[in-house]
Structure 1
Amino acid sequence: MIVTNYLIIGSGVAGLTFAIKIAERFPDRKITIITKANEDESNTKYAQGGIAIVTDETEDSYQKHIDDTLICGDGLCDIEVVKMVITEGPKRLKELIAWGAKFDKTDKGNFDLGKEGGHSQNRVIHHKDQTGYEIERAILEQVHQKENITVLNHYFALDLITQNNYCFGAYALHERTKEVIAFQSDFTILATGGIGHLYGHTTNPVIATGDGIAMAFRANATIKDMEFIQFHPTALYDSSAGSKFLISEAVRGFGAYLRTQKGHRFMMDYDERGELASRDIVSQSIDLELKKSGNDCVYLDCTHLDLDAFMKHFPMIYERCKSVGIDIAKDWIPVVPAQHYLCGGVSVDKNGKTSIKNLFACGECSQTGLHGANRLASNSLLEALVYSDKIYEYLIPISIENNPFKGKLLDWNFAKKPEVQPDYLAKMKTELQLLMRQNAGIVRYEAELPKAKKQLLIWKNEIEDISKTHQISVALYELLNMITIGSLIVQHSIDRKDNRGGFMKVNAL
């Protein structure tokens, strides 16, 4: 057993910023971060757009940002949470800058503010089209400077250690030695990111398999709003499965048009905001256009834009398109919607507390009430920064109880058990991803959801039986977690009776 004061599961912006603050405040306390891949591999790293923060109060205001968030959330946001997160944005931005994160400025030295769908003003602070990568770089440097932070790469969290609704830490598989380690902690923070790999077609990295939410669910934590899944309208189209390259919403904010294969600029048919309608509307509109035409993709037209300015703002997008033979000066970019963000998750209060004592959650795996039925673009990094700070502030006055786990630890000894065949797991995962895209995707059909629920239960029972007779592996547990998340999404979709924000359910094909 490894004993620590604070166990953080995940190494994105939410977990790392909490670690930095608590380590500075309590240099004699031990902070342990476990992450299933390399420390820099998280959804944070792939966030292109930026952070929505009010910095220019002559043109913009907190109230405008609050109103935009509430409109996007379609009546399901917690208004007090929205106010709290948005008004704290500038403080959290100052911290990032103090830690060394760099953001684009104009020639006059002001922030070069971008505009994305659903925003009434330019307020998105960015570092070219690699904002998440830049933030991750800066905060990891800070983490490495703290002697009381230990980062353990390639440790896969399996389950939480709980008793009487009290969290004592977690079990994790050391991926190289195949040993299961029990981590006992005074406080445990879930910062495990999203669920994208469940859909296959996603802008998330392959590590996004909903592990934290699935673990919390197995520990009987409250899970909310899993039906509200955001599909990014413009992922670069290719025919393969797996992670997709994101064409940032900021490209449409920059003036790009969405067109059908025949050249029709169709978004004006659906919303007066055109390409700058909120993501749910743009994704649903594209989905309808593709169903009408039978085509595989629609197109993003940048040919009328200033090429030099485009290359300056979006160098990574320009180079990626060029690498696959697309010259944006004369070619349209083929795009399709792909799973991008989960608005639901482990339910937390304004201090990031879950329904289980001493278990906290922040970032995409949490449900705070900020997003409601649909997340406003670039509010997610902001939410992660604010809630990691809220957990930190809440825990400052709370003394370490030194309350060791007195129950019996699970026996994970599986050395003599056979390994699960990788082909079997890969086949089931492919079938699962297809089921989720077809039955629980952008538009869901009333009759298909119960069928999906039944199939998911069959797979869940099958995988649970296999896990008793075979060696535990990352692939096996990721699949179990994805099936668990799929079941939650389907059940919450069945339960919701009205269409809101990113959720659309219809009676028939």
Structure 2
Amino acid sequence: MADVDADVIIIGSGAAGLTAALTLAPRLKVVVLAKSNISSGSTAWAQGGIAAVLEPGDTFESHIDDTMTAGAGLNNRDAVEFVVENAPAVIERLADLGVPFNPGEAGGERWHLTQEGGHSHRRIVHVDDATGMAVQQALEAAAAAHPNIHLVPDMVAIDLITGRHQDSPAADPRRVWGVYACDRETGHVRRFTGRATVLATGGASRAYLYSTNTRGSTGDGIAMAWRAGCRVSNMEFNQFHPTCLYHPEVKNFLITEAMRGEGAVLKRPTDGSRFMPDFDPRGELAPRDIVARAIDHEIKRLGLDFVHLDISHKPADFITGHFPTIHKRLLDLGIDITREPIPVVPAAHYTCGGVLIDLAGRTDLPGLYAAGEVSQSGLHGANRLASNSLLECLVFGQAAAADILANWSGLEPTPSIREWDESRVTDSDEEVVVHHNWREIRRFMWDYVGIVRTTKRLERALHRVALLRSEVQEYYSNFRVTPDLIELRNLIDVADLIVRSALSRKESRGLHYTLDYPETLARGEDTILPPAPAK
């Protein structure tokens, strides 16, 4: 397949990427790259819903306050206000695209709203317990039907194309012109170029042994942007979802926050007693970081493999009506949630840090935008409030596209870009090295950079990162790229960014908890790491 030049290149086909594409498409030609199939990203797996002020008595200020409280005072208030105030409009846009949000009761509110941990009101609009899938399907159908949007699956992004890849010595080395990507089908590298590029690649939770994310969440966009010259911020704030199913046959099935919002309680398997009231007066509705640490504490204290999440005290028709997807999936595994509790453990779920952006989605590099989990917009601070993630994707995907449109006349045409050079590499005959190192990274990140940290553990992790980086770089320099090798290289970079960010924070705040600095400082500041040294 040939190289492609378009007006705008979007890397990622989830809510952020497709929202940007649909906003741009009336005027520009857009190419959307997906790492696997178009629906393979994290959006489709989001169970809970989207937060927005839609209920009488609720206010923007309340949603802002809840977001700031969950973020442990590290949020950028301007970003929080921007997202919260745009939330109702993006919900309307999704409804116009055909997202079948659960309706409210006759004569009442337009949509059924649920409540989740950290929220002071019922403000979560949803589609049963599979909101992300409904959103993905609606956005994808609209994008596939638009003549100006070209959806390209099975493209594994390698590196951003910058002025360094031009033949002109006068080229701006920081200007971004697209991306080199490995075609899974052919194994060859293709150039995708455009006047503007949008990163919508998601987070980095697969850097950990246990994760709720799909296999593709390897921090590709964060690593590529950092290598190209972007600053990266707050990577120490890794959100661990408190309730991931513990089951030998299923490794990444999460149990939505909304279940606790509808009355599910956490219990010790040893005696069936609740434990969350011992940790926080909000009980099961405390923010995720508190709930995850409480579960981790009980598991370690009692020597357990899991704790129980129990909603069986609710009527069976209530449970199956609110959580049909979870009910069916667990029933297939022999767990009837209308009669028995669910075994759960925390698992890496969301990357609150990422590539620094402003309110228009602009990064440090000319021509490069970012939206969604790949970015650090200031919305989440030190901890993401439940159901603000899809919201961020929708608001910033639209904002980035709006800024590209507003400044289109000032964006110069794409220059001549060099082809990817494979003349000095060979095919690898030792793929076992890649797979072994992948497993090693995820294990030491879980053991040393998990829910509870210490300086000694973090220093051990940093040492392991340095050794693996040297080994992987040598491998990368001598063999043709493969999807697994690309992901491994990116995992090394994001693991390094996470560990160095965690070591630099001399306090416990939000999702970062260290036994060596258990107190929270009076004034919180973002952790900002400079870009990789230019090569």
* Whole-angstrom CA distance in 2 between matches of 1:235 and 1:79: 31
- Of the structure 1 ranges 245-254 and 405-414, higher mean CA displacement relative to structure 2 is found in 405-414
* Whole-angstrom CA distance in 2 between matches of 1:397 and 1:377: 32
Tell me the equivalent position of 1:304. 313
- Of the structure 1 ranges 175-184 and 129-138, higher mean CA displacement relative to structure 2 is found in 175-184
Q: How does 1:130-149 map to 2 (within 5 A)?
A: 130-149=130-149
Deviation >4 Å, runs of 4+:
406-410
1:223–1:346: 8 Å Cα contact kept in structure 2?
A: yes
2:189–2:420: 8 Å Cα contact kept in structure 1?
A: no
Could you report, residue by residue, the CA deviation over 1:179-218 in whole angstroms, capped at 9, with x for unpaired residues? 1111221000000011121113111111111101010011
Name the % identity. 39
Cα RMSD (Å): 1.5
1:504 to 509, 513, 526: 513
Could you report, residue by residue, the CA deviation over 1:271-327 in whole angstroms, capped at 9, with x for unpaired residues? 000000000000011111111011110001112111101101100111111111112
SS in structure 2 opposite 1:330?
Answer: coil
* Whole-angstrom CA distance in 2 between matches of 1:405 and 1:443: 48
* Whole-angstrom CA distance in 2 between matches of 1:299 and 1:418: 48
Is 1:455 aligned to residue 464 of structure 2?
yes
1:184 to 176, 189, 193: 193
Shift, 1:420, TM fit: 4.7
Q: How does 1:432-447 map to 2 (within 5 A)?
A: 432-447=441-456
SS in structure 2 opposite 1:32?
Answer: strand
- Structure 1: tracts of 5 or more residues without a match: none
1:205 to 211, 214, 238: 214
Shift, 1:432, TM fit: 1.0
Tell me the equivalent position of 1:80. 78
Is 1:404 aligned to residue 414 of structure 2?
yes
In the alignment, residue 254 of structure 2 is paired with which amino acid?
Answer: L
Tell me the equivalent position of 2:105. 107
In the alignment, residue 88 of structure 1 is paired with which amino acid?
Answer: N
Q: How does 1:110-121 map to 2 (within 5 A)?
A: 110-121=110-121
1:211–1:481: 8 Å Cα contact kept in structure 2?
A: yes
Tell me the equivalent position of 2:231. 222
In the alignment, residue 260 of structure 2 is paired with which amino acid?
Answer: R
Tell me the equivalent position of 1:14. 16
Is 1:3 aligned to residue 5 of structure 2?
yes
Could you report, residue by residue, the CA deviation over 1:404-432 in whole angstroms, capped at 9, with x for unpaired residues? 33564541346x71225333222211111
Shift, 1:225, TM fit: 0.4
Tell me the equivalent position of 1:286. 295
CA pair 20-484 structure 1, distance change in 2 beyond 3 A: same
Tell me the equivalent position of 1:248. 256
Tell me the equivalent position of 2:531. none
The TM-score with structure 1 as length reference comes to 0.96
* Whole-angstrom CA distance in 1 between matches of 2:430 and 2:404: 44
2:377 to 344, 368, 377: 368
* Whole-angstrom CA distance in 2 between matches of 1:453 and 1:425: 19
* Whole-angstrom CA distance in 1 between matches of 2:412 and 2:83: 32
1:446–1:508: 8 Å Cα contact kept in structure 2?
A: no
* Whole-angstrom CA distance in 2 between matches of 1:425 and 1:214: 18
1:447–1:508: 8 Å Cα contact kept in structure 2?
A: no
- Of the structure 1 ranges 91-100 and 224-233, higher mean CA displacement relative to structure 2 is found in 91-100
Q: How does 1:312-327 map to 2 (within 5 A)?
A: 312-327=321-336
Tell me the equivalent position of 1:44. 43
Q: How does 1:323-338 map to 2 (within 5 A)?
A: 323-338=332-347
* Whole-angstrom CA distance in 1 between matches of 2:282 and 2:431: 47
CA pair 92-284 structure 1, distance change in 2 beyond 3 A: same
Is 1:174 aligned to residue 183 of structure 2?
yes
In the alignment, residue 396 of structure 1 is paired with which amino acid?
Answer: L
Tell me the equivalent position of 1:466. 475
2:51–2:391: 8 Å Cα contact kept in structure 1?
A: yes
Shift, 1:397, TM fit: 2.3
1:420–1:471: 8 Å Cα contact kept in structure 2?
A: no
Could you report, residue by residue, the CA deviation over 1:226-262 in whole angstroms, capped at 9, with x for unpaired residues? 000100000000246x841011011111101100112
* Whole-angstrom CA distance in 2 between matches of 1:398 and 1:233: 42
Tell me the equivalent position of 2:168. none
SS in structure 2 opposite 1:7?
Answer: strand
1:193–1:208: 8 Å Cα contact kept in structure 2?
A: yes
Shift, 1:507, TM fit: 2.8
* Whole-angstrom CA distance in 2 between matches of 1:372 and 1:239: 34
Tell me the equivalent position of 1:65. 63
1:200–1:243: 8 Å Cα contact kept in structure 2?
A: no
1:184–1:405: 8 Å Cα contact kept in structure 2?
A: no
* Whole-angstrom CA distance in 2 between matches of 1:402 and 1:67: 42
2:508–2:517: 8 Å Cα contact kept in structure 1?
A: no
- Of the structure 1 ranges 108-117 and 180-189, higher mean CA displacement relative to structure 2 is found in 108-117
In the alignment, residue 45 of structure 1 is paired with which amino acid?
Answer: A
Tell me the equivalent position of 2:523. none
Could you report, residue by residue, the CA deviation over 1:427-450 in whole angstroms, capped at 9, with x for unpaired residues? 211111110101111111111111
* Whole-angstrom CA distance in 1 between matches of 2:380 and 2:337: 33
* Whole-angstrom CA distance in 2 between matches of 1:432 and 1:358: 32
Tell me the equivalent position of 1:388. 397
The count of aligned residue pairs is 503
In the alignment, residue 399 of structure 1 is paired with which amino acid?
Answer: W
SS in structure 2 opposite 1:250?
Answer: helix
Shift, 1:44, TM fit: 0.3
* Whole-angstrom CA distance in 2 between matches of 1:183 and 1:407: 10
Tell me the equivalent position of 2:167. none
SS in structure 1 opposite 2:210?
Answer: coil
* Whole-angstrom CA distance in 1 between matches of 2:304 and 2:517: 21
SS in structure 2 opposite 1:462?
Answer: helix
SS in structure 1 opposite 2:308?
Answer: strand
In the alignment, residue 29 of structure 2 is paired with which amino acid?
Answer: K
CA pair 508-71 structure 1, distance change in 2 beyond 3 A: closer
SS in structure 2 opposite 1:36?
Answer: coil
* Whole-angstrom CA distance in 1 between matches of 2:423 and 2:8: 26
Shift, 1:379, TM fit: 0.3
* Whole-angstrom CA distance in 2 between matches of 1:256 and 1:2: 50
CA pair 227-483 structure 1, distance change in 2 beyond 3 A: same
